[in-house]
Structure 1
Amino acid sequence: MSILEISGVSKKYGNLHALQDITFSVEPGEWLSIMGSSGSGKSTMLNMIGLMDKPTSGEVRIDGIVTSQLNSKKLTEIRKDKIGLVFQQFHLIPHLTALENVMVAQYYHSMPDEKEASAALARVGLESRARHLPRQLSGGEQQRVCIARALINYPALILADEPTGNLDESNEKIVLELFQELHREGHTIIMVTHAPEVGELAERQIRLEHGIIKEIRTPDGRREAVIQ
Protein backbone atom coordinates (compact mmCIF):
# COMPACT_ATOMS: atom_id res chain seq x y z
CA MET A 1 0.00 0.00 0.00
CA SER A 2 1.22 3.48 -0.86
CA ILE A 3 2.16 5.79 2.03
CA LEU A 4 0.69 8.75 0.12
CA GLU A 5 -1.90 8.85 -2.64
CA ILE A 6 -2.83 12.14 -4.29
CA SER A 7 -5.82 11.68 -6.60
CA GLY A 8 -7.12 14.47 -8.84
CA VAL A 9 -6.20 17.18 -6.33
CA SER A 10 -6.97 20.77 -7.27
CA LYS A 11 -6.76 23.90 -5.13
CA LYS A 12 -8.40 27.14 -6.08
CA TYR A 13 -8.11 30.53 -4.35
CA GLY A 14 -10.77 32.72 -5.92
CA ASN A 15 -9.94 32.72 -9.62
CA LEU A 16 -6.41 31.41 -9.06
CA HIS A 17 -5.79 27.72 -9.76
CA ALA A 18 -2.84 26.93 -7.46
CA LEU A 19 -3.04 23.21 -8.28
CA GLN A 20 -4.89 21.54 -11.13
CA ASP A 21 -5.85 17.86 -11.13
CA ILE A 22 -2.66 16.51 -9.53
CA THR A 23 -2.28 12.73 -9.26
CA PHE A 24 0.68 10.73 -7.95
CA SER A 25 1.60 8.29 -5.18
CA VAL A 26 4.59 7.60 -2.94
CA GLU A 27 5.66 4.13 -1.89
CA PRO A 28 7.16 3.11 1.48
CA GLY A 29 10.88 3.88 1.60
CA GLU A 30 10.81 6.17 -1.44
CA TRP A 31 12.47 9.58 -1.62
CA LEU A 32 10.46 11.99 -3.77
CA SER A 33 11.32 15.60 -4.50
CA ILE A 34 8.72 18.15 -5.55
CA MET A 35 10.44 20.85 -7.55
CA GLY A 36 9.58 24.07 -9.31
CA SER A 37 10.15 27.80 -9.33
CA SER A 38 8.31 30.34 -7.18
CA GLY A 39 4.60 30.25 -7.99
CA SER A 40 4.69 26.70 -9.36
CA GLY A 41 2.45 25.30 -6.61
CA LYS A 42 5.12 23.67 -4.41
CA SER A 43 3.99 25.34 -1.18
CA THR A 44 0.34 24.57 -1.89
CA MET A 45 1.23 20.94 -2.60
CA LEU A 46 3.17 20.76 0.67
CA ASN A 47 0.14 22.11 2.54
CA MET A 48 -2.05 19.43 0.97
CA ILE A 49 0.35 16.59 1.82
CA GLY A 50 0.95 17.92 5.33
CA LEU A 51 -2.81 18.22 5.93
CA MET A 52 -2.42 21.91 6.71
CA ASP A 53 -4.97 22.78 4.02
CA LYS A 54 -7.72 20.92 2.18
CA PRO A 55 -8.01 20.57 -1.59
CA THR A 56 -10.89 22.23 -3.43
CA SER A 57 -11.42 18.89 -5.13
CA GLY A 58 -9.71 15.52 -5.19
CA GLU A 59 -8.44 13.25 -2.46
CA VAL A 60 -5.40 12.97 -0.19
CA ARG A 61 -4.83 9.55 1.35
CA ILE A 62 -2.16 9.15 4.06
CA ASP A 63 -1.12 5.61 4.99
CA GLY A 64 -4.49 4.34 3.75
CA ILE A 65 -6.58 7.03 5.50
CA VAL A 66 -8.85 9.17 3.32
CA THR A 67 -8.55 12.69 4.72
CA SER A 68 -10.95 14.77 2.62
CA GLN A 69 -13.96 14.55 4.94
CA LEU A 70 -12.13 14.70 8.28
CA ASN A 71 -12.42 17.61 10.70
CA SER A 72 -9.46 19.70 11.82
CA LYS A 73 -9.01 17.78 15.07
CA LYS A 74 -8.73 14.45 13.28
CA LEU A 75 -6.40 15.94 10.66
CA THR A 76 -4.15 17.22 13.46
CA GLU A 77 -4.07 13.72 14.98
CA ILE A 78 -3.07 12.15 11.66
CA ARG A 79 -0.39 14.77 11.08
CA LYS A 80 0.94 14.20 14.60
CA ASP A 81 0.97 10.40 14.24
CA LYS A 82 1.94 9.93 10.59
CA ILE A 83 4.03 12.93 9.46
CA GLY A 84 7.36 14.33 10.60
CA LEU A 85 7.81 17.93 9.45
CA VAL A 86 11.14 19.63 8.74
CA PHE A 87 10.82 23.36 8.04
CA GLN A 88 13.08 25.83 6.25
CA GLN A 89 12.69 28.32 9.13
CA PHE A 90 13.41 25.67 11.83
CA HIS A 91 10.57 26.80 14.17
CA LEU A 92 12.49 25.89 17.30
CA ILE A 93 11.25 27.33 20.61
CA PRO A 94 13.98 29.87 21.52
CA HIS A 95 13.91 29.47 25.31
CA LEU A 96 14.12 25.66 25.19
CA THR A 97 17.28 23.61 24.72
CA ALA A 98 17.80 21.33 21.74
CA LEU A 99 16.81 18.36 23.91
CA GLU A 100 13.67 20.10 25.16
CA ASN A 101 12.66 21.09 21.62
CA VAL A 102 12.72 17.41 20.66
CA MET A 103 10.81 16.45 23.79
CA VAL A 104 8.05 18.95 22.94
CA ALA A 105 7.18 16.80 19.92
CA GLN A 106 6.97 13.77 22.22
CA TYR A 107 4.67 15.68 24.57
CA TYR A 108 2.13 16.35 21.83
CA HIS A 109 2.29 12.74 20.66
CA SER A 110 2.45 10.68 23.84
CA MET A 111 4.85 11.27 26.74
CA PRO A 112 8.27 12.99 26.88
CA ASP A 113 11.17 10.59 27.26
CA GLU A 114 14.53 12.28 27.82
CA LYS A 115 16.55 9.16 27.07
CA GLU A 116 14.74 8.64 23.76
CA ALA A 117 15.07 12.34 22.84
CA SER A 118 18.80 12.22 23.65
CA ALA A 119 19.15 9.19 21.36
CA ALA A 120 17.39 11.11 18.58
CA LEU A 121 19.88 13.98 18.92
CA ALA A 122 22.76 11.50 18.93
CA ARG A 123 21.28 10.04 15.74
CA VAL A 124 21.85 13.41 14.01
CA GLY A 125 25.26 13.97 15.60
CA LEU A 126 24.21 16.50 18.25
CA GLU A 127 24.55 14.61 21.52
CA SER A 128 27.13 17.17 22.72
CA ARG A 129 24.78 20.10 21.93
CA ALA A 130 21.69 18.77 23.71
CA ARG A 131 21.74 21.47 26.43
CA HIS A 132 22.31 24.37 24.05
CA LEU A 133 19.63 26.92 23.17
CA PRO A 134 18.81 27.50 19.50
CA ARG A 135 20.74 30.81 19.45
CA GLN A 136 23.85 28.88 20.52
CA LEU A 137 23.58 26.54 17.52
CA SER A 138 24.59 27.07 13.90
CA GLY A 139 21.93 26.99 11.19
CA GLY A 140 22.94 23.46 10.24
CA GLU A 141 22.75 22.32 13.86
CA GLN A 142 19.31 23.87 14.26
CA GLN A 143 18.14 22.04 11.15
CA ARG A 144 19.46 18.77 12.54
CA VAL A 145 17.48 19.40 15.74
CA CYS A 146 14.44 19.80 13.49
CA ILE A 147 15.19 16.46 11.85
CA ALA A 148 15.58 14.77 15.26
CA ARG A 149 12.25 16.32 16.29
CA ALA A 150 10.62 15.05 13.08
CA LEU A 151 11.92 11.51 13.67
CA ILE A 152 11.15 11.20 17.37
CA ASN A 153 7.61 9.83 16.94
CA TYR A 154 8.55 7.35 14.17
CA PRO A 155 6.43 8.92 11.41
CA ALA A 156 5.37 7.04 8.29
CA LEU A 157 6.39 10.04 6.22
CA ILE A 158 9.07 12.74 6.56
CA LEU A 159 7.98 15.95 4.85
CA ALA A 160 10.79 18.48 4.35
CA ASP A 161 10.12 22.04 3.17
CA GLU A 162 13.23 23.59 1.56
CA PRO A 163 15.37 22.04 4.34
CA THR A 164 18.62 23.55 3.01
CA GLY A 165 17.19 26.91 1.98
CA ASN A 166 18.73 28.82 4.92
CA LEU A 167 22.03 26.94 5.10
CA ASP A 168 25.52 27.69 3.84
CA GLU A 169 27.26 25.20 1.56
CA SER A 170 29.01 23.34 4.37
CA ASN A 171 25.89 22.85 6.48
CA GLU A 172 23.82 22.01 3.40
CA LYS A 173 26.20 19.13 2.68
CA ILE A 174 25.86 17.79 6.25
CA VAL A 175 22.06 17.96 6.20
CA LEU A 176 21.76 16.36 2.76
CA GLU A 177 24.09 13.54 3.78
CA LEU A 178 21.80 12.95 6.76
CA PHE A 179 18.76 12.74 4.49
CA GLN A 180 20.63 10.30 2.24
CA GLU A 181 21.42 8.14 5.26
CA LEU A 182 17.78 8.23 6.40
CA HIS A 183 16.73 7.13 2.92
CA ARG A 184 19.18 4.23 2.96
CA GLU A 185 17.65 3.16 6.28
CA GLY A 186 14.24 2.95 4.64
CA HIS A 187 12.57 6.21 5.67
CA THR A 188 9.99 7.67 3.31
CA ILE A 189 10.87 11.27 2.40
CA ILE A 190 9.09 13.96 0.42
CA MET A 191 11.26 17.03 -0.05
CA VAL A 192 9.99 20.29 -1.50
CA THR A 193 12.79 22.34 -3.09
CA HIS A 194 13.54 24.87 -5.79
CA ALA A 195 17.18 23.77 -6.02
CA PRO A 196 17.86 21.21 -8.80
CA GLU A 197 21.04 19.92 -7.15
CA VAL A 198 19.03 19.10 -4.02
CA GLY A 199 15.96 17.68 -5.75
CA GLU A 200 17.99 15.42 -8.01
CA LEU A 201 19.27 13.46 -5.03
CA ALA A 202 15.83 11.87 -4.75
CA GLU A 203 14.79 8.64 -6.43
CA ARG A 204 12.03 10.44 -8.26
CA GLN A 205 11.29 14.08 -9.01
CA ILE A 206 8.01 15.78 -9.75
CA ARG A 207 8.38 19.14 -11.48
CA LEU A 208 5.48 21.55 -11.06
CA GLU A 209 4.76 24.48 -13.32
CA HIS A 210 1.80 26.82 -12.85
CA GLY A 211 0.00 24.28 -10.69
CA ILE A 212 0.30 21.26 -12.98
CA ILE A 213 2.79 18.40 -13.16
CA LYS A 214 5.20 19.24 -15.95
CA GLU A 215 7.17 16.00 -15.69
CA ILE A 216 8.03 13.08 -13.44
CA ARG A 217 11.64 11.95 -13.68
CA THR A 218 13.83 9.25 -12.15
CA PRO A 219 17.57 9.77 -11.45
CA ASP A 220 18.56 7.64 -14.47
CA GLY A 221 16.89 10.23 -16.70
CA ARG A 222 13.74 8.27 -17.48
CA ARG A 223 10.57 10.31 -17.69
CA GLU A 224 7.29 8.80 -16.51
CA ALA A 225 4.04 9.43 -18.34
CA VAL A 226 2.11 12.36 -16.89
CA ILE A 227 -1.65 11.96 -16.77
CA GLN A 228 -3.55 15.25 -16.81
Structure 2
Amino acid sequence: MNILELKNVTKSYGNVHALKDFNLSVAPGEWVSIMGPSGSGKSTMLNIIGCMDKPTSGSVSIDGIEVTARSNKELTEVRREKIGLVFQQFHLIPHLTALENVMVAQYYHSLTDEQEALKALERVGLAQRAKHLPSQLSGGEQQRVCIARALINYPALILADEPTGNLDEDNEKLVIELFQELHREGHTIVMVTHDNEIGELAQRRVRLEHGRLTQIA
Protein backbone atom coordinates (compact mmCIF):
# COMPACT_ATOMS: atom_id res chain seq x y z
CA MET A 1 0.00 0.00 0.00
CA ASN A 2 1.28 3.45 -0.90
CA ILE A 3 1.76 6.01 1.85
CA LEU A 4 0.35 8.76 -0.36
CA GLU A 5 -2.16 8.66 -3.22
CA LEU A 6 -3.47 11.68 -5.10
CA LYS A 7 -5.95 10.84 -7.86
CA ASN A 8 -7.23 13.41 -10.35
CA VAL A 9 -6.78 16.21 -7.83
CA THR A 10 -7.95 19.63 -8.96
CA LYS A 11 -7.88 22.81 -6.88
CA SER A 12 -9.70 25.77 -8.34
CA TYR A 13 -10.07 29.38 -7.26
CA GLY A 14 -12.89 30.64 -9.40
CA ASN A 15 -11.82 30.07 -13.00
CA VAL A 16 -8.16 29.60 -12.05
CA HIS A 17 -6.85 26.05 -11.61
CA ALA A 18 -3.95 25.95 -9.16
CA LEU A 19 -3.87 22.17 -9.72
CA LYS A 20 -5.50 20.32 -12.60
CA ASP A 21 -6.08 16.53 -12.68
CA PHE A 22 -2.95 15.89 -10.64
CA ASN A 23 -1.93 12.30 -9.86
CA LEU A 24 0.84 11.15 -7.54
CA SER A 25 1.68 7.95 -5.65
CA VAL A 26 4.43 7.67 -3.05
CA ALA A 27 5.57 4.27 -1.77
CA PRO A 28 6.76 3.57 1.78
CA GLY A 29 10.39 4.63 2.22
CA GLU A 30 10.48 6.69 -0.97
CA TRP A 31 11.94 10.20 -1.25
CA VAL A 32 10.13 12.35 -3.82
CA SER A 33 11.10 15.91 -4.72
CA ILE A 34 8.41 18.27 -5.98
CA MET A 35 9.87 20.93 -8.24
CA GLY A 36 8.68 23.74 -10.47
CA PRO A 37 8.73 27.51 -10.92
CA SER A 38 6.90 29.98 -8.70
CA GLY A 39 3.16 29.74 -9.33
CA SER A 40 3.35 26.16 -10.61
CA GLY A 41 1.09 24.76 -7.88
CA LYS A 42 3.73 23.40 -5.48
CA SER A 43 2.40 25.23 -2.42
CA THR A 44 -1.19 24.29 -3.23
CA MET A 45 -0.24 20.65 -3.56
CA LEU A 46 1.78 20.75 -0.33
CA ASN A 47 -1.16 22.26 1.57
CA ILE A 48 -3.45 19.52 0.29
CA ILE A 49 -1.01 16.72 1.14
CA GLY A 50 -0.45 18.30 4.57
CA CYS A 51 -4.22 18.32 5.25
CA MET A 52 -4.17 22.12 5.49
CA ASP A 53 -6.49 22.50 2.49
CA LYS A 54 -8.96 20.40 0.52
CA PRO A 55 -9.07 19.78 -3.24
CA THR A 56 -11.99 21.01 -5.32
CA SER A 57 -12.25 17.52 -6.79
CA GLY A 58 -10.33 14.25 -6.80
CA SER A 59 -9.21 12.08 -3.91
CA VAL A 60 -6.31 12.08 -1.44
CA SER A 61 -5.29 9.12 0.74
CA ILE A 62 -2.60 9.19 3.42
CA ASP A 63 -1.43 5.89 4.89
CA GLY A 64 -4.67 4.24 3.80
CA ILE A 65 -6.96 7.01 5.07
CA GLU A 66 -9.08 8.80 2.46
CA VAL A 67 -9.05 12.40 3.67
CA THR A 68 -10.86 14.34 0.94
CA ALA A 69 -14.27 14.49 2.62
CA ARG A 70 -13.01 14.82 6.19
CA SER A 71 -13.94 17.75 8.39
CA ASN A 72 -11.32 20.32 9.36
CA LYS A 73 -11.14 18.75 12.82
CA GLU A 74 -10.57 15.32 11.31
CA LEU A 75 -7.92 16.71 8.96
CA THR A 76 -6.10 18.17 11.96
CA GLU A 77 -6.13 14.72 13.58
CA VAL A 78 -4.76 13.05 10.43
CA ARG A 79 -2.03 15.68 10.16
CA ARG A 80 -1.11 15.21 13.81
CA GLU A 81 -1.08 11.40 13.58
CA LYS A 82 0.38 10.79 10.13
CA ILE A 83 2.48 13.75 8.98
CA GLY A 84 5.69 15.36 10.20
CA LEU A 85 5.98 18.90 8.84
CA VAL A 86 9.25 20.75 8.27
CA PHE A 87 8.81 24.37 7.17
CA GLN A 88 11.15 26.87 5.54
CA GLN A 89 10.26 29.45 8.21
CA PHE A 90 10.85 27.06 11.19
CA HIS A 91 7.70 28.13 13.14
CA LEU A 92 9.32 27.55 16.52
CA ILE A 93 7.68 29.12 19.59
CA PRO A 94 10.15 31.86 20.58
CA HIS A 95 9.70 31.72 24.37
CA LEU A 96 10.13 27.92 24.54
CA THR A 97 13.45 26.07 24.55
CA ALA A 98 14.41 23.65 21.81
CA LEU A 99 13.36 20.76 24.06
CA GLU A 100 10.01 22.37 24.86
CA ASN A 101 9.34 23.06 21.17
CA VAL A 102 9.73 19.35 20.47
CA MET A 103 7.55 18.47 23.45
CA VAL A 104 4.75 20.71 22.10
CA ALA A 105 4.30 18.21 19.25
CA GLN A 106 4.05 15.42 21.81
CA TYR A 107 1.46 17.38 23.79
CA TYR A 108 -0.87 17.73 20.81
CA HIS A 109 -0.38 14.07 19.88
CA SER A 110 -0.62 12.21 23.20
CA LEU A 111 1.55 12.72 26.29
CA THR A 112 4.78 14.64 26.74
CA ASP A 113 7.93 12.65 27.45
CA GLU A 114 11.00 14.78 28.14
CA GLN A 115 13.46 11.92 27.74
CA GLU A 116 11.97 10.91 24.40
CA ALA A 117 12.08 14.53 23.24
CA LEU A 118 15.71 14.77 24.34
CA LYS A 119 16.50 11.64 22.34
CA ALA A 120 14.89 13.25 19.29
CA LEU A 121 17.18 16.27 19.70
CA GLU A 122 20.14 13.95 20.16
CA ARG A 123 19.09 12.25 16.93
CA VAL A 124 19.61 15.53 15.07
CA GLY A 125 22.81 16.41 16.94
CA LEU A 126 21.33 19.02 19.29
CA ALA A 127 21.12 17.38 22.72
CA GLN A 128 23.62 19.92 24.06
CA ARG A 129 21.39 22.80 22.84
CA ALA A 130 18.16 21.47 24.39
CA LYS A 131 17.78 24.33 26.87
CA HIS A 132 18.45 27.10 24.35
CA LEU A 133 15.76 29.40 23.00
CA PRO A 134 15.31 29.68 19.21
CA SER A 135 16.96 33.12 19.30
CA GLN A 136 20.07 31.46 20.71
CA LEU A 137 20.26 28.95 17.86
CA SER A 138 21.60 29.31 14.33
CA GLY A 139 19.26 28.87 11.38
CA GLY A 140 20.57 25.36 10.79
CA GLU A 141 20.08 24.45 14.44
CA GLN A 142 16.52 25.79 14.36
CA GLN A 143 15.77 23.71 11.31
CA ARG A 144 17.14 20.62 13.01
CA VAL A 145 14.84 21.32 15.97
CA CYS A 146 12.00 21.39 13.43
CA ILE A 147 13.09 18.01 12.10
CA ALA A 148 13.24 16.58 15.63
CA ARG A 149 9.74 17.96 16.23
CA ALA A 150 8.52 16.40 12.97
CA LEU A 151 9.95 12.99 13.91
CA ILE A 152 8.85 12.83 17.55
CA ASN A 153 5.48 11.20 16.85
CA TYR A 154 6.80 8.66 14.30
CA PRO A 155 4.87 10.00 11.28
CA ALA A 156 4.10 7.90 8.22
CA LEU A 157 5.16 10.81 5.99
CA ILE A 158 7.71 13.62 6.38
CA LEU A 159 6.58 16.65 4.38
CA ALA A 160 9.27 19.30 3.90
CA ASP A 161 8.66 22.73 2.39
CA GLU A 162 11.88 24.30 1.08
CA PRO A 163 13.73 23.10 4.22
CA THR A 164 17.02 24.72 3.21
CA GLY A 165 15.56 27.94 1.82
CA ASN A 166 16.71 30.10 4.75
CA LEU A 167 20.05 28.42 5.39
CA ASP A 168 23.62 29.25 4.48
CA GLU A 169 25.70 26.72 2.58
CA ASP A 170 27.21 25.00 5.63
CA ASN A 171 23.88 24.59 7.42
CA GLU A 172 22.18 23.52 4.21
CA LYS A 173 24.70 20.69 3.93
CA LEU A 174 24.04 19.55 7.51
CA VAL A 175 20.27 19.53 7.04
CA ILE A 176 20.40 17.72 3.71
CA GLU A 177 22.76 15.11 5.15
CA LEU A 178 20.19 14.56 7.89
CA PHE A 179 17.43 14.04 5.33
CA GLN A 180 19.65 11.58 3.46
CA GLU A 181 20.21 9.67 6.68
CA LEU A 182 16.48 9.62 7.43
CA HIS A 183 15.84 8.25 3.95
CA ARG A 184 18.42 5.51 4.41
CA GLU A 185 16.62 4.57 7.62
CA GLY A 186 13.40 4.05 5.66
CA HIS A 187 11.50 7.28 6.25
CA THR A 188 9.11 8.45 3.53
CA ILE A 189 9.87 12.01 2.42
CA VAL A 190 8.06 14.42 0.12
CA MET A 191 10.12 17.58 -0.29
CA VAL A 192 9.20 20.75 -2.13
CA THR A 193 12.34 22.49 -3.35
CA HIS A 194 13.42 24.99 -6.00
CA ASP A 195 17.04 23.80 -5.77
CA ASN A 196 17.91 21.43 -8.61
CA GLU A 197 20.90 19.95 -6.78
CA ILE A 198 18.77 19.07 -3.76
CA GLY A 199 16.00 17.77 -6.00
CA GLU A 200 18.46 15.42 -7.67
CA LEU A 201 19.16 13.71 -4.32
CA ALA A 202 15.66 12.24 -4.24
CA GLN A 203 14.76 8.86 -5.70
CA ARG A 204 12.16 10.53 -7.88
CA ARG A 205 11.57 14.06 -9.09
CA VAL A 206 8.15 15.40 -10.03
CA ARG A 207 7.89 18.67 -11.92
CA LEU A 208 4.85 20.93 -11.91
CA GLU A 209 4.02 23.70 -14.35
CA HIS A 210 0.76 25.66 -14.29
CA GLY A 211 -0.82 23.14 -11.93
CA ARG A 212 -0.11 20.14 -14.12
CA LEU A 213 2.39 17.32 -13.86
CA THR A 214 4.86 17.83 -16.71
CA GLN A 215 7.71 15.49 -15.84
CA ILE A 216 8.57 12.50 -13.66
CA ALA A 217 12.20 11.38 -13.42
Same fold by TM-score greater than 0.5 = yes
Alignment of 1:83-162 (within 5 A): 83-162=83-162
Q: Which residue of 2 aligns with 1:214?
A: 214
Residues 155-205 of structure 1 deviation map (CA, whole Å, 9 limit, x = unaligned): 000000000000000000000000000000000000001111111110000
Helix, strand or coil at the partner of 1:206: strand
Are residue 177 (structure 1) and residue 177 (structure 2) matched?
A: yes
Quote the Cα distance in structure 2 between the aligned partners of 1:9 and 1:134.
Answer: 37
Shift of 1:69: 1.1
What's the TM-score, normalizing by structure 2? 0.99
Helix, strand or coil at the partner of 1:163: coil
Residues 22-64 of structure 1 deviation map (CA, whole Å, 9 limit, x = unaligned): 0110000000000011001000000010010000000000011
Structure 1: give runs of 5+ residues left out of the alignment: 218-228
Residues 95-114 of structure 1 deviation map (CA, whole Å, 9 limit, x = unaligned): 00000000000000001100
Helix, strand or coil at the partner of 1:201: coil
Alignment of 1:198-209 (within 5 A): 198-209=198-209
Helix, strand or coil at the partner of 2:85: strand
Equivalent AA in structure 2 for residue 184 of structure 1: R
Alignment of 1:3-152 (within 5 A): 3-152=3-152
Residues 63-98 of structure 1 deviation map (CA, whole Å, 9 limit, x = unaligned): 111111111111110100000000000000000000
Quote the Cα distance in structure 2 between the aligned partners of 1:181 and 1:94.
Answer: 28
Quote the Cα distance in structure 1 between the aligned partners of 2:147 and 2:24.
Answer: 25
Residues 92-141 of structure 1 deviation map (CA, whole Å, 9 limit, x = unaligned): 00000000000000000001100000000000000100000000000000
Shift of 1:14: 1.2
Structure 1: 4+ residue segments shifted above 4 A: none
Quote the Cα distance in structure 2 between the aligned partners of 1:13 and 1:193.
Answer: 24
Q: How many residues align?
A: 217
Quote the Cα distance in structure 2 between the aligned partners of 1:66 and 1:154.
Answer: 20
Quote the Cα distance in structure 1 between the aligned partners of 2:190 and 2:49.
Answer: 9
Quote the Cα distance in structure 2 between the aligned partners of 1:75 and 1:43.
Answer: 18
Helix, strand or coil at the partner of 1:213: strand
Q: Which residue of 2 aligns with 1:220?
A: none
What's the TM-score, normalizing by structure 1? 0.95
Quote the Cα distance in structure 1 between the aligned partners of 2:15 and 2:198.
Answer: 32
Helix, strand or coil at the partner of 2:213: strand
Shift of 1:15: 1.5
Helix, strand or coil at the partner of 1:120: helix
Superposition RMSD in Å: 0.4
Equivalent AA in structure 2 for residue 127 of structure 1: A
Q: Which residue of 2 aligns with 1:225?
A: none
Structure 2: give runs of 5+ residues left out of the alignment: none
Helix, strand or coil at the partner of 1:167: coil
Equivalent AA in structure 1 for residue 172 of structure 2: E
